[in-house]
């Protein structure tokens, strides 16, 4: 049950070989002119939340900065830094290459359209459409080429050592770090702790949850193991089900079997409420993800996964528990906006993006709200 709420910030605790680091994290996300990219461009800043973490991060920074410490960086850190750097270069180049590749097919189409229109006295509307298409494609190509040129120049400057950074007053405590992206489950745990909930998380690997708190209890186990599920269910008031699977073309039963085990354990321990996250494309939300998602991604990469998510939703619909099925749109790592659409009638709707942080906030609200009890709300901006 929720405890009395305190007006405090919740630091991010990261287990390391030298101890637990306490950090306050912020995200800054930049929009791009293209709709299809490898990943969203985001900057994460980590601020030390206590004096011990500040001393530790300051010492680590000095140990890897020339002239700040007599000790040279170790070879293992050197190799790790090179791997991180190589991945960043690869991702940056791939993102820009895909941006250009997405526009290249339009060039011969524009040439053909120009020849076709020039072969007869075209209507003014056709000429206007051709001019609009040509100008839009030209602008997008110019943006991509300019971005690629700037990226290549920056990479050359970094390799030649000609790029320098001068710390500004007031920002010397900012410690950049390479962190895994925060998924929906981690967002739910983080926001749930802030709201004062006591949380028991069933995870296959404790390292999946980078938070530590006296009100967070991790149970290492498998959702497909009934004994593990039973051990995690004891003493709970409600359940949040957020299962995930990698892309596979094999027959999938994780979602349906895992949900079946949850429902059995809920009946055994008299737990009534379950909030389950499925996704756009499950049940009657199929066909509302946009042309590319519905015609390409869904049928080819997610077919077997969403077949099992359909079975998962059917188990919940026919259960005797108080269920809410949440179907988010395309998930992002952006900061929570707090304003989004919650849709039950999907007529004429195409789902867009929504931040994991907003999904987590909505899911936690459903633990005590009956507004969407036994319903399947779709979340999107």
- Ramachandran quadrant class, 163 (left: phi over 0; alpha: psi -120 to 50; beta: rest): beta
Q: Are residues 242 and 197 in the same domain?
A: yes
Same structural domain for residues 138 and 212?
A: no
**Residue 61 phi, psi dihedral angles, 5° rounding:** -65, -45
Q: Number of structural domains, the chain?
A: 2
**264 and 125 in one domain?**
no
Is residue 200 located within the same domain as residue 145? no
- What is the C-alpha separation between 90 and 102, in angstroms, rounded? 18
118 with 213, same domain?
no
Predicted TM-score of the model (pTM) = 0.56
* Closest CA relative to residue 144, chosen from 99, 84, 182, 78: 99
Q: Are 255 and 245 in contact (CB under 8 A)?
A: yes
One digit per residue, pLDDT tens: the chain, 381 residues? 555 555 556 777 777 766 777 877 776 655 544 444 444 556 677 778 887 777 777 776 665 544 444 444 444 444 555 555 555 556 566 666 666 666 666 667 667 666 666 655 555 556 666 666 667 666 666 666 666 666 566 555 444 443 333 333 332 222 222 333 346 788 898 899 999 999 999 988 877 677 788 889 888 999 999 999 999 999 999 999 999 888 888 899 999 999 999 999 999 999 999 999 999 999 999 999 988 888 888 888 899 999 999 999 999 999 999 999 999 999 888 888 899 999 999 999 999 999 999 999 999 999 999 999 999 999 999
- pLDDT attached to residue 213: 85
Q: How far is CA 61 from the centre of its chain?
A: 28
Q: What tens digit of pLDDT does each residue of 319-367 get? A: 999 999 999 999 888 888 899 999 999 999 999 999 999 999 999 999 9
Same domain, 260 and 214: yes
Looking up residue 261, the CATH number of its domain turns out to be: 3.40.50.720
* Together in a domain, 165 and 311: no
Q: What is the pLDDT of residues 361-381, one digit of tens each?
A: 999 999 999 999 999 999 999
pLDDT confidence of residue 176: 27
pLDDT at residue 35, rounded to an integer = 43
- pLDDT given for residue 68 in this prediction: 42
Residues 191 and 167 grouped into a single domain: no
Q: Please report the DSSP string for 73-88 in residue order.
A: PPHHHHHHHHHHHHHH
Residue finishing a domain among 130, 160, 179: 179
Q: What 3-state class would DSSP assign to 229?
A: helix
Q: In terms of domains, do 173 and 219 share one?
A: no
Residues 5, 124, single domain; the answer is yes
Q: Dihedral of CA 146/151/156/157: which sign?
A: positive
Q: What is the pLDDT of residue 38?
A: 44
Write the CA distances from 342 to 37, 258, 338, 339, integer angstroms: 26, 26, 12, 10
Query: Which residue, of 179, 213, 243, is where some domain finishes?
Result: 179
| 95/189 same-domain check | no
pLDDT at 50: 80
What is the span of the domain harbouring residue 30? 1-179
pLDDT tens profile 42-71: 667 777 888 777 777 777 666 554 444 444
Domain end point (choices 134, 162, 179) = 179
Residues 350 and 264 placed together within one structural domain of the fold: yes
């Amino acid at each position: 049950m929720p405890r009395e709420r305190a007006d405090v910030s919740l630091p991010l605790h990261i287990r390391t070989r030298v101890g637990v680091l306490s950090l306050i994290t912020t995200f800054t996300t930049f929009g791009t002119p293209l709709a299809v990219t490898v990943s969203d461009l985001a900057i994460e800043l980590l601020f030390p939340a206590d004096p011990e973490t500040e001393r530790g991060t300051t010492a680590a920074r000095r140990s890897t900065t020339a002239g700040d410490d007599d000790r040279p960086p170790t070879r293992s850190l050197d190799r790790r830094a090179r791997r991180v750097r190589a991945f960043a270069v690869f991702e940056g180049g791939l993102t820009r290459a895909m941006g250009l590749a997405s526009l290249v097919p339009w060039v011969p189409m524009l040439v053909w359209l120009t020849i076709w229109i020039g072969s007869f006295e075209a209507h003014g509307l056709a000429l206007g459409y051709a001019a609009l298409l040509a100008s839009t494609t030209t602008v997008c190509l110019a943006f991509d080429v300019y971005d690629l040129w700037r990226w290549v120049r920056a990479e050359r400057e970094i390799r030649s050592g000609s790029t320098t950074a001068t710390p500004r007053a007031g920002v010397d405590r900012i410690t950049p770090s390479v962190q895994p992206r925060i998924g929906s489950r981690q967002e739910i745990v983080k926001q749930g702790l802030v709201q004062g909930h006591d949380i028991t998380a069933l995870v296959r690997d404790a390292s999946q949850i980078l938070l530590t708190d006296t009100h967070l209890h991790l149970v290492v186990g498998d959702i497909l193991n009934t004994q593990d599920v039973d051990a995690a269910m004891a003493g709970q008031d409600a359940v949040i089900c957020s299962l995930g699977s990698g892309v596979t073309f094999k027959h999938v039963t994780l979602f349906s079997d895992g949900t079946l085990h949850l429902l059995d354990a809920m009946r055994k321990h008299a737990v009534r409420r379950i909030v389950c996250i499925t996704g756009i494309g499950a049940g009657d939300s199929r066909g509302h993800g946009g042309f590319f998602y519905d015609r390409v991604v869904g049928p080819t990469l997610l077919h077997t996964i969403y077949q099992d998510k359909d079975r998962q939703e059917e188990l919940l619909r026919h259960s005797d528990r108080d269920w809410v099925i949440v179907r988010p749109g395309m998930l992002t790592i952006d900061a929570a906006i707090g304003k989004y659409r919650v849709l039950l009638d999907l007529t004429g709707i195409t789902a867009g993006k929504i931040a994991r942080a907003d999904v987590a906030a909505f899911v936690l609200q459903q633990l005590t709200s009956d507004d969407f009890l036994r319903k399947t709300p779709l979340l999107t901006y």
